[in-house]
Amino acid sequence: MAPELMALIEAGQELAVEDRYELAYQMLISADEEEGGDQTQTDAAWRTELRQRIDDIASGAVTLVDGTDTIRMARECIARRMKTIS
C-alpha cells in the first residue's frame, strides 16, 4: 500500500463516524464516475440485486441478522483485513 494512501486512511479514521461514512460515499461516487459508470445501468443493476435479496428473504434462503450483530461482524471483518494490510 502506498504511503500516501496509508496516510489518508489514518487521517480518515480520525474523522467523526458520520464524516467517515460521507467520505466513503464520496469516494465510491468518484470511482464510479471515473470508470464511466452509467447511472441508468447502475440503477437497473441495483434493482435486480434488491429483487434477488428480497426473494431470498421471502423464500427463507437467507437468515436475517440483527443490526447490532451485523455491525459487530462488519467491524471484525474490517479489523481482520486491516491486520493483513499492515
In angstroms, rounded to a whole number, what is the distance separating the alpha carbons of residues 17 and 20?
Answer: 5
In angstroms, rounded to a whole number, what is the distance separating the alpha carbons of residues 1 and 10?
Answer: 13
In angstroms, rounded to a whole number, what is the distance separating the alpha carbons of residues 49 and 29?
Answer: 19
In angstroms, rounded to a whole number, what is the distance separating the alpha carbons of residues 9 and 3?
Answer: 10
Residues 10-54 have pLDDT tens digits of 999 999 999 999 999 899 888 877 766 677 888 888 999 999 999
Cell, residue 37: 459508470
In angstroms, rounded to a whole number, what is the distance separating the alpha carbons of residues 59 and 45?
Answer: 21
pTM, two decimals, is 0.43
H-helix segments, 14-38:
17-34
> Is residue 84 pLDDT above 90, yes or no?
no
Cell, residue 14: 480520525
Domain limits of the chain?
Answer: 1-37, 39-86
